[in-house]
Structure 1
Amino acid sequence: MSVINRNNVKTIGDGAQTMLFAHGFGCDQNMWRYVAPQFADRFRVVTFDHVGAGGSDLSAYDFEKYSTLDGYATDIVEIGQELGIENGIFVGHSVSAMMGVLASAKAPTLLSRLVLVGPSPRYIDDLDYQGGFSRQQVDELLEFLDSNHMGWSLAMAPVIMGNSDRPELSEELTNSFCKTDPEIAKHFARATFMADNRADLDQVKVPSLILQCAEDVIAPVAVGHYLHAKLPESTLVLMKATGHCPNLSHPQETVAAIETFVAAA
């Protein structure tokens, strides 16, 4: 199985520089459909599905490899190597933001810029760190998912998406969650919500853009400020967009923020 088929890699545009878009938990590359094509006139735009999601090869899902985010970061590096990407721009939503951080450390010449959309290096509070969740809350969230994948999807999608006045957005996220294999979803959720990548931030050597949404229950504003303080050469944009998925709910604002960042390169 080639890397391209394994991760259902899609490419549009033929620019000299590559933009690589990575989706978040319970989603697939379709979540970038309002954003990624806007850059195809100037960049080679690459989208893909994490193994276990969307049109990826489910038989390639290795529970040991994907027990931490490092396994996904390795896939990103392999995609980059297969496509000959150098000095690319990585755009990662939610948990994929930290995968990009890890990938940039693994392959220093692969990426020249990071765009982190709703990122969080740790979801659990810790001493003077505010991640947004207590350990008990995360344990309960994972137990709920373990016992009732469908019920978890129906309950959590509206909370994660926000924008309650636009129920069609929550419905799309719910459907995306429900399409994911339950065992893979449980495993990926544990790798996501138990991760602690704060120590990895020091390894980032490239400029980064942090897109911080308002009223984001998954990655609160305090996390955005924490990342801005820890990441060298970082730019923090406090968006008007609410919820955790501005690539769906507020694509124009998301595109505009990324445009400004890449134009400054």
Structure 2
Amino acid sequence: MTIDILARNNVKVLGRGEQPILFAHGFGCDQDMWRYIVPGFEADYRVVLFDHVGSGRSQIQYYDTDKYSDLRGYAQDVNEILDALQLEDAIFVGHSVSSMIGLLASIRDGSRFKRIVMIGASPRYMNDSPDYFGGFDASEIQDLLNMMEMNFIGWASYMAPIAMQNPDRGELAEELERSFCSKDPHIARQFAEVTFLSDCRGELARTPVPSLILQCAEDSIAPIEVGNYLHEHLKNSTFRLMNAKGHYPHLSHPEETTSLIRQYLADA
């Protein structure tokens, strides 16, 4: 059976420009999370939005537990989307885990990529003593995974405000909680396990294209030590420390996020 790649990943193509730019959402989200960012690119770019399989309006019947037990399964989908649209020299904007998904996809086929923009990225969420601080001890990650399994709704309610980290704007945490809760709990837990136990540090040196690292001033998921590590180990990387706080600056601070990405692309 031939898979309609664009339908599988609910691909949307917008914009009036020639230069393709893909926006890839993070764990527990979907392409709607980019709605404040997209207007800043539609006039000058060919904007591509999509949902990872198991998220948003993707075709959930194509979710394969074996394929998606590794970030490379998601990276394969990115390559297939680029192939289906016949895109080359694309700019890939990834939030959180999708930054590493884009990195893995670029290693697989560098001709499809021109730049990678990483928002709240982490090559390894787990601390690896004594040389690496990812932000989470192994026991903390296991506790989160256990909580997802025992009480998914409770996990979403607990995690959303911690990740959003804008306590004076409760509506943002509420939106994130709703996004978490809209996912199939079993798929969400597997994606969380694949995300939080992943280790892409060994792949950083193989990245064939330049990158922009957008690091929030305070990020409970990807602390500044992680951003500094990425900048140190990614060749041709540019590091920008944002005023934004939290793990979702494209929702909480879309103007700053848009401005930094456009400035980087203009200088490239």
Shift of 1:37: 2.6
- Matched position secondary structure for 1:52: coil
> For residues 189-246 of structure 1, what are the alpha-carbon distances to aligned partners after superposition, in whole Å with 9 as ceiling and x for unaligned?
0000000000010111211000000210100000000000000110110000000000
- Matched position secondary structure for 2:212: strand
Matches within 5 A, 1:158-173: 158-173=161-176
1:246 and 1:188 mapped to 2: Cα distance?
22
> For residues 237-259 of structure 1, what are the alpha-carbon distances to aligned partners after superposition, in whole Å with 9 as ceiling and x for unaligned?
00000000001000000000000
Which deviates the most, 201-210 or 22-31? 201-210
Matches within 5 A, 1:24-43: 24-43=26-45
Q: Which residue of 2 aligns with 1:19?
A: 21
Matches within 5 A, 1:83-162: 83-127=85-129, 128-162=131-165
Q: Is the 8 A contact 2:110 2:209 kept in 1?
A: no
Q: Is the 8 A contact 1:94 1:119 kept in 2?
A: yes
State TM-score, norm by structure 2. 0.98
2:159 and 2:217 mapped to 1: Cα distance?
18
2:198 and 2:39 mapped to 1: Cα distance?
31
Give the letter for the 2:167 counterpart: S
2:90 and 2:158 mapped to 1: Cα distance?
37
Q: What is the total number of aligned residue pairs between the two structures? A: 265
- Matched position secondary structure for 1:240: coil
Q: Is the 8 A contact 1:163 1:242 kept in 2?
A: yes
2:18 and 2:53 mapped to 1: Cα distance?
27
Give the letter for the 1:48 counterpart: F
1:221 and 1:97 mapped to 2: Cα distance?
16
Q: Which residue of 2 aligns with 1:65?
A: 67
1:234 and 2:248 matched: no
2:22 and 2:78 mapped to 1: Cα distance?
9
1:147 and 1:55 mapped to 2: Cα distance?
26
State TM-score, norm by structure 1. 0.99
Gaps spanning 5+ residues in structure 1: where?
none
Shift of 1:108: 1.0
1:36 and 1:21 mapped to 2: Cα distance?
9
2:241 and 2:267 mapped to 1: Cα distance?
18
Aligned counterpart in structure 2 of residue 188 of structure 1, from 187, 191, 216: 191
Q: Is the 8 A contact 1:37 1:45 kept in 2?
A: no
1:183 and 1:37 mapped to 2: Cα distance?
34
Stretches (4+) displaced over 2 A:
none
Gaps spanning 5+ residues in structure 2: where?
none
